[in-house]
Structure 1
Amino acid sequence: MVEAVQAVGNMVGGMASYENGKYNRDLSNTMATEAERDGAVSESRVRDAARMAIGQQVAAQGANGFQQGAGSAIDALTQSQINATLDALTIRRQAASKARGLRIQGAQAYSAGSNALVQGMFGAAAHGVQQSNDWANAKAGQSGSYGGSLYSGGAYGVSGSDGIY
C-alpha cells in the first residue's frame, strides 16, 4: 500500500513540475514580448527627443548667424543624428537581449518540468516493480490462494504424514 501511494506521489509530483515548467515558460515568453515592446517605446522616445534637439540646434544655428547646411553647422547636425541613432540602436539591442534571456529562462523552466515529469514516471514505475517484487517474495513457497496448503499442518492442525487427509 505504501509503495502504491509513493508511486502516485511520484506521478503527481512529476505532473505538477511539468505544469509549473509550462507556466514559467509561458510567463517568460510574455515577459520577453513586453521587454521588446518597452524597448520599442524607449527607442521611439529617443528618436523623437533627438529630432526635437536637432530642430532646436538648427534654429539656434540660424539665430546665431551660422550658414545652415554648410561647414561646421552641418557637421554638428550629422554628429547629432549619428548619436541619436546609436542611442536608439543601443536601446533596441538591450531590449532584444533581455527578451532573449527571458525566453531562454522559460525554455529551461519547461525543460526542467519535462525532466521532472519523466523522473516522476520512472519513480512510479520503479515503485510498482518494487511492490510487485515484494509481493512475489512474500508469496514465495506458498500455494493456494489463501496463503498456504490445506494439508501442511498449518491452519487445520492436520498432518499429512499419518496418511489421513
Structure 2
Amino acid sequence: MGEVAAVAGPLLQGIGGFVSSRQQSNALKRQAREEQNAGAAQSLRIREQARKVIGEQLAAQSSNGFEGGTGSALDALTESQVNAALDAMTVIRDAGTKAQALRYEAKMKRTEGWFALANGVLGAGSSVSGMKDDWAQAGMGQQAGVNGYQSGGYQGGGMG
C-alpha cells in the first residue's frame, strides 16, 4: 500500500499543479478581456464627454457674439477635439498593454502547469525505479539464503 502512495503522491501533485495553472490561466485571460472592454468603455465616455464640451463651447461662442467655428473659436474647438482623441487613444493603448501583459502571464501559468505535470510524472517514475532497486536488493538477499550461501561461507549438507 505504501508503494502505491509513493507513486501516486507525486503524480497527483503534478496533476493538481497542472489543473490549478489552467484555472489561473483562464482567469487571467478573462481579466485581459475585461481590461480591454473597460478601456473601450472609458474611451467611449471620453468621446461622449468631449462632444458635450464642444457643444457647450459652440453655444458659449455664439452667445458671446463670436461667429462660432471661425478664427480663434475654431482653434479652440480643434484643440478640444484633438485632446479628446488623444485621451481616448491613450486609454485604449493602456488597456491593450495591460491586457497583453495579462495574456502573457496566462501563457506562463500554462507553461508552469505543464512543468508541474512533467515533474509529477518523473517523480512517480523515480519512485517506481527506486522500488525496483529495493525489490532487486531484497530478492538477491533471499536468493542467497535459498541457495545455501550465507556470509560465512557454504552451509549446505556435506558427506559425512
TM, length-normalised to structure 2: 0.89
* Residues 15-34 of structure 1 aligned to structure 2 (within 5 Å): 15-34=15-34
Deviations 1:29-70 (A, max 9, x none): 111111111111111000000000000001100111112222
Deviations 1:49-96 (A, max 9, x none): 000000000110011111222210110000000000011011101111
1:77 corresponding residue in structure 2 = 77
**1:90 partnered with 2:90:** yes
Whether the aligned pair in 1 keeps the contact of 2:58 and 2:69 (CA below 8 Å) is: no
Write the letter of the residue equivalent to 1:15: I
Whether the aligned pair in 2 keeps the contact of 1:29 and 1:103 (CA below 8 Å) is: yes
Write the letter of the residue equivalent to 2:72: S
- Structure 2 residues not aligned, in runs of 5+: none
- Shift of the 153–141 alpha-carbon distance from structure 1 to 2, 3 Å rule, reads closer
- Separation in structure 2 between the aligned mates of residue 3 and residue 153 of structure 1, nearest angstrom: 30
Whether the aligned pair in 1 keeps the contact of 2:46 and 2:88 (CA below 8 Å) is: yes
- Structure 1 residues not aligned, in runs of 5+: none
2:139 corresponding residue in structure 1 = 139
* RMSD of aligned Cα (Å): 2.0
- Separation in structure 1 between the aligned mates of residue 66 and residue 126 of structure 2, nearest angstrom: 85
Deviations 1:117-143 (A, max 9, x none): 101100110110011011101111533
Write the letter of the residue equivalent to 1:119: N
Give, in angstroms, the shift of residue 153 of structure 1: 9.2
- Separation in structure 2 between the aligned mates of residue 92 and residue 98 of structure 1, nearest angstrom: 10
2:148 corresponding residue in structure 1 = 152
Structure with greater helix share of residues: 2
2:56 corresponding residue in structure 1 = 56
- Separation in structure 2 between the aligned mates of residue 111 and residue 51 of structure 1, nearest angstrom: 46
- Shift of the 12–86 alpha-carbon distance from structure 1 to 2, 3 Å rule, reads same
TM, length-normalised to structure 1: 0.87
2:158 corresponding residue in structure 1 = 162
- Separation in structure 2 between the aligned mates of residue 95 and residue 71 of structure 1, nearest angstrom: 37
- Shift of the 153–47 alpha-carbon distance from structure 1 to 2, 3 Å rule, reads closer
Q: How many residues align?
A: 156
Write the letter of the residue equivalent to 2:93: R
